[in-house]
């Protein structure tokens, strides 16, 4: 999988259909010679005979082509590695010092020619995925130095006829809205300065030559596995060289690296694919299912969450009533949200005091948990353990535990402050508190929330790294000690979704926005990188509590079925007819969820048109589910056939509801006519199974 040619100073890292070729030039600069379709050793060697970037007198021709892009010499482009030595020297002058290698891992070692600083580039490949993972390790054996930027990877694109950037932008209640536009010259930086991944941007990017479509074209993409502040710079030089460089941290945060210390960056994954954006997304989904998610083989249960039903008005009685209704409709996991602990009867008190509110749960959580289990469901609990309300016992006992600076007000948001997890005693408290909560109560699932970004970061800038490291460490230890517990990552909805958190959680809360129409766009953007099985999607009440939009019952269900289906409505106010219909729709989801959660996703029609549709195809192609949505009908417009993907043209497929037989060849060319009800907000779930023989 990894081939080294020591004479030519070349390394070839191959995946099933792509490869990544590195070359050390005569000055020990590490160049990316190729990132694209798979090449043989001989073909890769021939790259060395291609004309190299011409030498221009004003700058280093290696600018924009280096895998290890350190600041120094005549390079003025974006540098993924920037340090300031104790004497003020800023440039690095790295010489190659060796390599280590296994079948799947490669480490290239560099040392500064004067200062006792080493840099290691770590690469990892997977035999069944085209993802290349890269991270950096810095070791300082000299006087303390400052790290201004240490990107996990710098991905170098080949010269293309044009460059287009795809990424997502958003805000609270409107996450992951896809943006696709020409990559401007200069540096385009996607970033979070919030200490958390953020709603505003997500740490991934895709670049194509401007002609790729959902089905066709080469796509170069990368994604950072990090849940704190981050920065991803897409650089387009006037010479038409393009790089994507990503790492933890943000401008202007720097870190001290003391004598004898090392800095290990998070991993950044790079992926080259052909077959358009759809193929790129499927490759990312597949990779996460195989190599990132902790329990990808499991079926995500149908979940109920009490937040929109009860808000902070939580009691044993109200939760039991909801649980009984939820169980009747086929819910498998009942989650009690905020409001169960301390003095948390509103959002200004109690956060930090993780014991059941004695008035609301006089006998602890046991009676509720037992009832939920008796009803045949698992029990989940909301926590927000990185936070504290100033009006809490924890804060009164430890006012110094929050992120703050002397001489500055402690900025509150939602009446809360962030605990400083870089402090060992806070990290210990966090672990102990959660560990005890899980040990004392029969909890199957945690919804782990994080509702405010950092302000007034402490004097040690390492906090930006160490908060996330502690979070990861605590999650890892809790999962090891309580292996049956599953975890949902939430940050006011989708503020903490990334490959780092997904390595240690089982699903995410996609957005606080549960309006089905808005969701179509949010889910479309989410699916560009992340798989449907982690995308928590609730059916809530109509009119929607946030947008006031009225959307029919089935449409709301069908939209949520495109991910990990959950219910979040005020069930005690639902009519019996709605409860019965919900039970039917939950049952329908259970029949197709193996396709949604383990199948290949095809975005058939995007949500910006009148009609949109998404398909989930079984890995063996034997069956598929299509969810189709018409949001508004214009007079005189007939629904087009929805052309399906990935089918066997020779096969016949039977509709599991109508019994009708469809021919693969016809579905692929003329499409499926979903027979949607007339009018606005029409939707359908179609389940097709290939006929035998």
Cis peptide before 252 (omega within 30 of 0): yes
Nearer to ligand DGJ, 175 or 208 (CB): 175
Any idea which residue has 């040690």 for tokens?
460
The closest alpha carbon to 567, from 583, 551, 552, belongs to: 583
Smallest gap, in angstroms, from Cβ of residue 347 to ligand DGJ? Answer: 7
Q: SS3 of 624, please?
A: strand
Smallest gap, in angstroms, from Cβ of residue 519 to ligand DGJ? Answer: 14
Give yes or no for residue 382 binding ligand DGJ (CB under 6 A): yes
Smallest gap, in angstroms, from Cβ of residue 27 to ligand DGJ? Answer: 51
Phi then psi for residue 429, to 5 deg, are -60, -45
Smallest gap, in angstroms, from Cβ of residue 495 to ligand DGJ? Answer: 8
* CA 237/CA 528 separation, integer angstroms: 26
Contact 263, 149 (CB under 8 A): no
Q: How many CA atoms lie within 13 A of 649 on its CB side?
A: 4
Q: In this chain, which of 152, 492, 507, 514 binds ligand DGJ, going by CB under 6 A?
A: 492
Nearer to ligand DGJ, 444 or 512 (CB): 512
Nearer to ligand DGJ, 422 or 451 (CB): 451
Whether 449 is catalytic is yes
Q: Give, in order, the Cα–Cα distances in Å from 251 to each of 169, 232, 464.
A: 19, 11, 12
Smallest gap, in angstroms, from Cβ of residue 177 to ligand DGJ? Answer: 18
Q: Which of residues 542-561 bind ligand DGJ (CB under 6 A)?
A: none
Any idea which residue has 């991905």 for tokens?
155
Residues 202, 207, 212, 213, Cα dihedral to 10°: 0
Contacts of 88 (CB under 8 A, 6+ apart): none
Name the residue number minimizing CB distance to ligand DGJ: 338
Interface mask toward ligand DGJ for 307-346; x: CB under 6 A = x-----------------------------xx--------
Give yes or no for residue 490 binding ligand DGJ (CB under 6 A): yes
Nearer to ligand DGJ, 353 or 449 (CB): 449
Q: In this chain, which of 214, 449, 488, 515 binds ligand DGJ, going by CB under 6 A?
A: 449
Nearer to ligand DGJ, 229 or 492 (CB): 492
Contact 649, 668 (CB under 8 A): yes
As a 3-state breakdown, the chain gives helix, strand, coil percent values, each rounded to 5, of 20, 35, 45
CA angle 421, 425, 429 (to 5 degrees): 80
3-state per-residue secondary structure call for 461-499: CCHHHHHHHHHHHHHHHHHHHCCCCEEEECECEECCCCH
Please give the structure tokens belonging to residue 626.
């299509």
Interface mask toward ligand DGJ for 270-309; x: CB under 6 A = -------------------------------------x--
Whether 5 is catalytic is no
Smallest gap, in angstroms, from Cβ of residue 311 to ligand DGJ? Answer: 8
Nearer to ligand DGJ, 192 or 492 (CB): 492
Contacts of 211 (CB under 8 A, 6+ apart): 161, 162, 217
Site stretch for ligand DGJ (CB under 6 A), options 157-165, 192-200, 275-283, 488-496:
488-496
Contact 549, 557 (CB under 8 A): no
Smallest gap, in angstroms, from Cβ of residue 70 to ligand DGJ? Answer: 40
Nearer to ligand DGJ, 546 or 673 (CB): 546
* CA 107/CA 125 separation, integer angstroms: 12
* CA 674/CA 220 separation, integer angstroms: 34
Q: SS3 of 473, please?
A: helix
String of DSSP letters for 137-200 = EEEE-SS-EEEEEE-SEEEEPPP-S--EEEEEE--TTS--EEEEEEPPSEEEEEEE-SSS--SS
Nearer to ligand DGJ, 493 or 525 (CB): 493
| Residue 685: count of CB within 10 angstroms of its CB | 21
| Residue 164: count of CB within 10 angstroms of its CB | 18
Nearer to ligand DGJ, 445 or 681 (CB): 445
Give yes or no for residue 607 binding ligand DGJ (CB under 6 A): no
Strands 303-305 and 333-336: parallel
* CA 261/CA 267 separation, integer angstroms: 19
Q: SS3 of 270, please?
A: strand
Residue 347, burial from CB neighbour count under 10 angstroms (0-12, 13-18, 19+): middle
Residue from 420, 512, 515, 554 carrying the catalytic annotation: 512
* Total residues at interface with ligand DGJ (CB under 6 A): 11
Smallest gap, in angstroms, from Cβ of residue 304 to ligand DGJ? Answer: 13
Q: Which of residues 504-523 bind ligand DGJ (CB under 6 A)?
A: 509, 512
* CA 544/CA 180 separation, integer angstroms: 29
Nearer to ligand DGJ, 147 or 173 (CB): 173
Smallest gap, in angstroms, from Cβ of residue 508 to ligand DGJ? Answer: 10
Site stretch for ligand DGJ (CB under 6 A), options 25-33, 49-57, 127-135, 490-498:
490-498
Cis peptide before 543 (omega within 30 of 0): yes
Q: What is the DSSP letter of 114?
A: S
Smallest gap, in angstroms, from Cβ of residue 338 to ligand DGJ? Answer: 4
Site stretch for ligand DGJ (CB under 6 A), options 398-406, 486-494, 591-599, 647-655:
486-494
Give yes or no for residue 429 binding ligand DGJ (CB under 6 A): no
Site stretch for ligand DGJ (CB under 6 A), options 130-138, 207-215, 485-493, 591-599:
485-493
Smallest gap, in angstroms, from Cβ of residue 230 to ligand DGJ? Answer: 21
Nearer to ligand DGJ, 342 or 664 (CB): 342
Cis peptide before 19 (omega within 30 of 0): no
User: What residues pair up with 379 in beta bridges, in sequence order?
Assistant: 334
Give yes or no for residue 389 binding ligand DGJ (CB under 6 A): no
76 alpha-carbon distance from chain centroid: 32
Smallest gap, in angstroms, from Cβ of residue 340 to ligand DGJ? Answer: 11
Residues 601, 604, 607, 608, Cα dihedral to 10°: 140
From the CA atom positions of the chain, what is the Rg in Å? 26
Contact 54, 142 (CB under 8 A): no
Residue from 63, 420, 449, 541 carrying the catalytic annotation: 449
Smallest gap, in angstroms, from Cβ of residue 72 to ligand DGJ? Answer: 45
Q: Is the Cα torsion angle 560, 565, 568, 571 positive or negative in sign?
A: positive
Give yes or no for residue 455 binding ligand DGJ (CB under 6 A): no
Nearer to ligand DGJ, 449 or 498 (CB): 449
Site stretch for ligand DGJ (CB under 6 A), options 438-446, 489-497, 613-621, 668-676:
489-497
Nearer to ligand DGJ, 29 or 194 (CB): 194
Give yes or no for residue 451 binding ligand DGJ (CB under 6 A): yes
Which residues make up the interface to ligand DGJ (CB under 6 A)?
A: 307, 337-338, 382, 449, 451, 490, 492-493, 509, 512
What are the catalytic residues? 449, 512
């Amino acid at each position: 999988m990894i081939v080294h040619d020591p004479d030519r100073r070349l390394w070839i890292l191959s995946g099933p259909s792509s490869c990544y070729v590195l070359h050390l030039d005569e000055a020990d600069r590490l160049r990316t010679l190729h990132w694209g379709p798979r090449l043989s050793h001989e073909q890769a060697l021939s790259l060395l005979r291609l004309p190299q970037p011409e030498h221009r007198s004003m700058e280093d021709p290696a600018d924009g082509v280096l895998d290890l892009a350190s600041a120094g010499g005549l390079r003025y482009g974006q540098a993924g590695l920037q340090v300031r030595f104790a004497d003020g020297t800023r440039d690095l002058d790295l010489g190659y010092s060796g390599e280590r290698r296994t079948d799947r891992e490669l480490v290239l070692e560099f040392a500064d020619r004067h200062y006792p600083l080493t840099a290691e580039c770590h690469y990892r490949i997977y035999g069944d995925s085209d993802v290349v993972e890269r991270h950096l390790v810095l070791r300082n054996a000299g006087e303390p130095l400052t790290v201004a930027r240490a990107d996990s990877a710098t991905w170098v694109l080949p010269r293309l006829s044009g460059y287009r950037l795809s990424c997502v932008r958003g805000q609270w209640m409107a996450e992951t809205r896809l943006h696709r536009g020409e990559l401007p010259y200069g540096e385009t930086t996607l970033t979070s300065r919030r200490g958390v991944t953020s709603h505003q941007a997500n740490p991934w990017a895709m670049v194509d030559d401007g002609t790729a479509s959902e089905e066709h074209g080469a796509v170069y993409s990368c994604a950072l596995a990090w849940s704190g502040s981050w920065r991803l710079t897409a650089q387009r030089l006037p010479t038409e060289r393009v790089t994507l460089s990503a790492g933890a941290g943000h401008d202007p945060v720097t870190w001290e690296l003391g004598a004898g210390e090392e800095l290990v960056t998070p991993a950044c994954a790079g992926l080259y694919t052909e077959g358009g954006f759809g193929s790129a997304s499927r490759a990312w989904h597949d990779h996460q299912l195989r190599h990132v998610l902790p329990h990808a083989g499991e079926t995500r249960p149908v979940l109920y969450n009490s937040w929109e039903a009860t808000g902070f008005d939580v009691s044993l009685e109200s939760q039991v009533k909801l649980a009984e209704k939820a169980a009747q409709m086929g819910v498998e996991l009942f989650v009690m949200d905020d409001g169960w602990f301390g003095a948390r009867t509103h959002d200004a008190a109690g956060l930090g005091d993780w014991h059941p509110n004695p008035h609301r749960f006089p006998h602890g959580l046991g009676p509720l948990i037992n009832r939920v289990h008796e009803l045949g469901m698992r029990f989940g609990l909301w926590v927000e353990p990185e936070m504290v309300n100033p009006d809490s016992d924890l804060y009164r006992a430890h006012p110094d535990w929050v992120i703050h600076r002397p001489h500055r007000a402690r900025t509150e948001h939602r009446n809360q402050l962030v605990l400083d997890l870089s402090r060992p005693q806070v990290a210990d408290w966090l672990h102990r508190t959660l560990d005890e909560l899980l040990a004392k109560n029969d909890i199957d699932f945690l919804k782990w929330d994080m509702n405010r970004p950092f302000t007034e970061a402490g004097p040690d800038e390492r906090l930006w790294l160490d908060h996330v490291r502690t979070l990861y460490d605590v999650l890892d230890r809790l999962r090891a000690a309580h292996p049956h517990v599953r975890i949902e990552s939430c940050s006011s909805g989708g503020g903490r979704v990334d490959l780092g958190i997904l390595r240690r959680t089982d699903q995410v809360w996609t957005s606080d926005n549960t309006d089905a129409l808005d969701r179509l766009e949010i889910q479309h953007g989410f699916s560009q990188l992340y798989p449907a099985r982690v995308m928590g999607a609730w059916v809530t009440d109509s009119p929607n509590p946030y947008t006031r939009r009225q959307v029919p019952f089935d449409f709301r269900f069908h939209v949520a079925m495109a991910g990990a289906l959950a219910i979040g409505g005020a069930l005690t106010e639902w009519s019996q007819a709605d409860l019965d219909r919900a039970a039917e729709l939950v049952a329908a989801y259970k029949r197709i969820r193996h396709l949604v959660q383990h199948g290949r996703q095809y975005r058939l029609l995007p949500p910006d048109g009148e009609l949109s549709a998404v398909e989930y195809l079984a890995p063996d192609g034997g069956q598929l589910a299509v969810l189709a949505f018409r949001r508004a009908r214009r007079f005189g417009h007939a629904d087009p056939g929805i052309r399906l993907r990935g089918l066997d043209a020779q096969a016949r497929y039977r509709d599991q509801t109508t019994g009708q037989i469809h021919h693969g060849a016809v579905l692929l060319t003329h499409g499926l006519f979903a027979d949607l009800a007339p009018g606005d907000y029409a939707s359908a779930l179609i389940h097709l199974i290939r006929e035998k023989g």
